[in-house]
Amino acid sequence: MQVTDTMTYSNSLRRRLRALFSPIRLVLFAAAVIFAVALNVVFIGNGGSPEWVGALSVVPLLAFAGWTVATDYRLRRRERGNR
């Protein structure tokens, strides 16, 4: 009796989380959160000035989200091509 691996990237949450949250991605995500918190502390501590600091604090989180979506799309497209 042969056991085949039917769990693909698209239908396996474990594989998807392993790919999208590799150790380097977890470190970069933690750094983005720390950066956002630090800039928000500066922003709130200065009474809401300079205004650009508040907007700048979310840039690393948006970049991480964009990177994750792009990686997910690439892996799903690669899987569709292999079928």
Q: Is residue 6 part of a domain?
A: no
- Domain hosting residue 32, numbered range: 13-82
| pLDDT in the model for residue 5 | 59
| Digit-coded pLDDT (tens) for 30-70 | 999 999 999 989 888 988 888 888 889 899 999 999 999 99
Are 60 and 36 a contacting pair, CB within 8 Å?
yes
CA–CA dist 16, 10 (Å, integer):
7
How many domains, in total, are found in the chain? 1
Q: Is residue 48 part of a domain?
A: yes
| pLDDT in the model for residue 3 | 45
* Model confidence at 19: pLDDT above 50: yes
Closest C-alpha among 34, 31, 32, 55 to residue 43: 55
* Model confidence at 79: pLDDT above 90: no
